Chains A and B, each alone.
Chain A
């Protein structure tokens, strides 16, 4: 009886939490942007913020008169409403991807697709992400039945494009009408769309909202506040940022935040990154030295755990999940790990912006679009039609929602409602901020530039001398690029 009552109370409590969270988020996300609720045509204060990603959402836009007002969001590439799935021919194709953890959710969607279109079959072929990185191109290139596959943003997508494996999907109506247009950038080359980046990731720090409330902390919104917060949280016995310096992949996520406000405008930032990526500029350039010094400042102010270079991405989410750390600076993709380690963290995580400037920031957060769905240009015409139909099925809001809720990933499809997953819901407010497509992935030379650069920043947090480390790493980068 006691257990039953306890369970009933727990579910009631969960329901109340979800309802409150839903109310907080569904209530226009940019309320803080204006004293009044956002209303079409009324004034707003911060350009670029929006109230969500549905066809009814509003965005703060500067008009020709210079005034900022709430305007209707044009999420897709056109104003037209989303289209239904295209009918496929009969046949069987393979769907290659790297997410074994999504197998069941995707199979559910595939079962639904196959029952709607009898005679058409989709077989999942799944590799681990490491195998996929190394072997997918060779396997798919030699397999014409691999009609649908995914690639990651940057190097892998470029490799498949160079290999002539990506069919042009620019004329598919669902690409223009069902997909958030800004999310298409990583799948676009020369104005043509070759892939649908299905997942919308947000590579910003997660914070323990319950811990912040208990301790009376405010989420820092400037660089000075961030360093002050670190000192306060550390003095209170907490790890301010559970930053996994021993695991390059996730340790490197924060470089996105450091880059996003490091230049006066996006064009300058892109030019600087390109210069480093091609060996025309060194890491000793003043703008990068400033970033490196900020890493050092974070270490000096106690932002990171003890021995940060030996603190790995197994320990970091565990500390965050156990309430020992206030912030887990990775991204929305880290939430499922945290809730797996401690289910009671569900509903307590929110997303913050890591602002590394004290002046007005150019951007408020990072987004990334990956898991890029493409059609194999070397598959038969029939199989390509099935593949395009299946992708259009995935691009239906109800199917994308099933995927999002089931896998705890935001998606780049219009009109998806995240209310059924409290963590997705709680972090959805980041979508309303002015976001930059993760600049970390503009470094295309992963082995010769990005990895050594990130290793250098990690070493600096461990006490290595800033200028010596950057000078040595610049030399390694130059030599690597010339090989």
Chain B
């Protein structure tokens, strides 16, 4: 039984991965015969590509913002929506709703909300006298990445709420009862019971959210196309543009390898920070 499964896995995953490694050592426009260039693509990417470094920085900032806020909001909402009352089930559904929308639709909706001249956000800010806070959210290089990050948080928080609720509901009620007997406050109960017991779920949420931030291609494409001046470009949009707009498939393969290594590194560091091994606290 293992052989067919391995064959399928090899064909669908190993072969493309190995091929990508091969492409990263070539100069290839997708049409003419590839030219072997050794490690030149890697050298160029690390020593002569300011745009790559800028976009790498964008991606790290984007991931940090989204992971922190999305995980934080999800845990907060899940804590309040833990009990299976009708209201809580309704609210969980409401929070989950954005997840079922297509990312392009979400991108378009938020593009309208952010519109600097006609958008809802600036209209509200102006209506309450905060004109100075009404910004050109997506058209200004200082704000565009944060504006898209906020959209990403709105888009996926509900999904993480559901995961947290499932995780938190597994915590034995006896632990809370014992804490209450010991006179623990709500905050102490959260700090000493909920948080440690939620760590395995947090690890899943953080890892999944991180991976989502490295795959946020369609949202970026629909909202800013990476602009202005690459201020909201992420590695995944960069790889796409290098391959399919610039027809540099070899260089795009090299960028992909860095993208994969970065995801691996970040995931490893997260597991170290959360002290998680195979889903259990050490």
Contacts and interface: CB of A to CB of B under 8 A. Distances in A.
Interface stretch (B44-52, B157-165, B257-265): B44-52
A310 B51 contact: no
B128 interface: no
A137 B31 contact: yes
5 contacts: A162-B31, A312-B111, A455-B227, A464-B229, A483-B45
A133 B41 CA distance: 25
Interface string A295-313: 0000000000111111110
Contacts, number: 99
Interface stretch (B82-90, B95-103, B209-217, B245-253): B245-253
Contacts of B29: 159, 162
From DSSP, what is the main secondary structure of chain B's interface residues? loop
Nearest to A478: B48
A164 to B, nearest CB: 9
B167 to A, nearest CB: 39
A479 B118 contact: no
B228 A476 contact: no
Given A455-B227, A462-B228, A483-B251, A309 B30 contact: no
B31 A451 contact: no
A462 B139 contact: yes
Contacts of B41: 483
Nearest to A165: B31
A311 B48 CA distance: 33
Nearest to B147: A310
Nearest to B111: A312
Interface in A277-332: 305-312, 314-315
Given A462-B228, A483-B49, A162 B32 contact: yes
Interface string B220-250: 0000110111100000000001101111100
B31 A159 contact: yes
B136 interface: yes
Contacts of A307: 116-117, 136, 139
Nearest to B45: A483
Interface in A137-163: 137-138, 155, 159, 162-163
Interface residues on A, range: 35 or more
Given A163-B31, A455-B229, A315 B118 contact: yes
Residue of A248, A307, A475 with most chain B CB atoms under a 10 A cut-off = A307
A218 to B, nearest CB: 28
B133 to A, nearest CB: 14
Interface string A457-483: 011001010000100000110011011
Contacts of A310: 114-117, 136-140
Interface residues of B, number: 38
A479 B41 CA distance: 12
Contacts of A447: 241-242, 245-248
A456 to B, nearest CB: 7
Interface of B: 29-32, 41, 44-45, 48-51, 111-112, 114-118, 136-141, 224-225, 227-230, 241-242, 244-248, 251
Contacts of B112: 314
A241 to B, nearest CB: 14
Interface of A: 133-134, 137-138, 155, 159, 162-163, 245-246, 248, 305-312, 314-315, 445-448, 451, 455-456, 458-459, 462, 464, 469, 475-476, 479-480, 482-483
Given A155-B247, A483-B49, 16 more contacts: A133-B244, A162-B31, A307-B116, A310-B114, A310-B137, A310-B138, A310-B140, A445-B246, A446-B245, A447-B241, A447-B245, A455-B228, A455-B229, A462-B140, A476-B50, A483-B248
Contacts of B244: 133-134
Contacts of A480: 49, 51, 246
Contacts of A134: 244
B225 A248 contact: yes
Nearest to B250: A483
Given A448-B246, A455-B229, A483-B44, A309 B241 contact: no
Contacts of B117: 305-307, 310-311, 315
Contacts of B30: 137-138, 159
Nearest to B48: A479
Contacts of A312: 111, 115
A120 B244 CA distance: 35
Contacts of B225: 248
B140 A451 contact: no
Contacts of A483: 41, 44-45, 48-49, 248, 251
